Amino acid sequence: MTILGEVFKELLKMFVADLRLTLAVVGGVVLVAILTDKGVLGPIGAALTLAAGCVLVLGEAVLRETRRRK
């Protein structure tokens, strides 16, 4: 059980470390879920939207971090 506790602690640290990144990903997933539930997006559209959203969020996080380090 110790290894599970350590893994959980590390995952929690990873998500709490960059709150903006975590909230952006969660917000994107919630938005796609709502659009899929309303019938606006089908399964393929939802998958493509999630993939594009994750790439955009990751790109923004990388740009923000590089600006911070300069």
What are the tens digits of pLDDT across the range 8-58? 888 777 777 778 888 888 889 999 999 999 999 999 999 999 999 989 988
Cβ neighbours of residue 28 under 8 Å, at least 6 residues apart?
50, 53, 54, 57
- Determine how many CB atoms are found less than 10 A away from the CB of residue 2: 6
Q: 3-state DSSP call for residue 18? A: coil
Instruction: State the pLDDT at residue 33.
Output: 93
Cβ neighbours of residue 24 under 8 Å, at least 6 residues apart?
57, 60
pTM, entire model: 0.70
- Cβ atoms 21, 57 nearer than 8 A: yes
Instruction: State the pLDDT at residue 1.
Output: 60
Q: 3-state DSSP call for residue 1? A: coil
